[in-house]
């Protein structure tokens, strides 16, 4: 399959983890990358690393949870660079939201980031992309979107929302020249997963995950999930009848 090239790209959540790795991966391949995140110190270090590699990466201070400001900032970047070719909604947060001790404030923060922030990122210049007849939108979901997981109600739901959003866009954008890709990573080493105390099967190194994601984007894959072992496991969970799923998951709480 022919791989695409991008003159410009925006990657959110670029201060660490998959976002950081993907921003640098794209920049090293000649893309002018706008690396967006709340924390500026890690972004400056990333920009310095990119410059040392002869790549172009520009730090952008952005909190996607501030949706209106996010839309305005992305539109400014789009106008200034002559049109963004690629927008990756990667910024997100995770953590437990158990039903028996439901943390409202934390849940709201997660929804503001994972749902509203992702839609603001992807939708900010979508009309402009359609008008130009080119562009690529990428949403970073999770294998947790395959089924509502115990103690992860807010996280699973936020990723289910993003998956459905990307699927609808994929259908709506047929024939416009604008592509839609939804990526479902499994467990990947990051600041978020480093806090987990439970087993994480098939945990991947960030570099390996970024390579897979980057090539899937360049191929224009509409949907991409990895690793295959966890994908198959989650597909089986998705197919289980509710009583069997409930009984199985109750043992893992």
**Active-site positions?**
155
Task: Name the residue with tokens 């959110």.
Answer: 12
Listed residue (45, 145, 59) closest to 94, CA to CA? 145
């Amino acid at each position: 399959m022919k791989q695409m090239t991008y003159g410009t790209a925006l990657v959110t959540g670029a201060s660490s983890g998959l976002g950081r790795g993907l921003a640098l991966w794209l920049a090293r391949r000649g893309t002018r990358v706008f690396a967006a995140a709340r924390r500026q110190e890690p972004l400056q270090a990333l920009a310095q690393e990119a410059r040392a590699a002869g790549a172009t990466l520009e730090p952008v201070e952005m909190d996607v949870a501030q949706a209106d400001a996010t839309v305005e900032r992305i539109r400014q970047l789009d106008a200034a660079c002559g049109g963004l070719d690629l927008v990756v909604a990667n910024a997100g947060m995770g953590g437990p939201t158990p039903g028996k001790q439901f943390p409202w404030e934390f849940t709201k923060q997660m929804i503001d980031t994972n749902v509203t922030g992702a839609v603001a990122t992807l939708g900010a210049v979508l009309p402009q992309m359609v008008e130009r007849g080119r562009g690529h939108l990428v949403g970073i979901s999770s294998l947790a979107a395959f089924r509502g997981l115990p103690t992860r109600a807010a996280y699973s739901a936020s990723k289910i929302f993003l998956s459905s959003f990307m699927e609808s866009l994929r259908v709506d954008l047929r024939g416009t020249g604008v592509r839609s890709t939804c990526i479902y990573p499994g467990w990947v080493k990051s600041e978020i997963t480093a806090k987990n105390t439970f087993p994480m099967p098939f945990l991947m190194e960030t570099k390996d995950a970024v390579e897979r994601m980057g090539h899937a984007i360049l191929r224009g894959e509409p949907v991409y999930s990895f690793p295959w072992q966890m994908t198959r496991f989650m597909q089986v969970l998705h197919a289980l009848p509710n009583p069997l799923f409930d009984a199985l998951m109750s043992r893992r709480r």
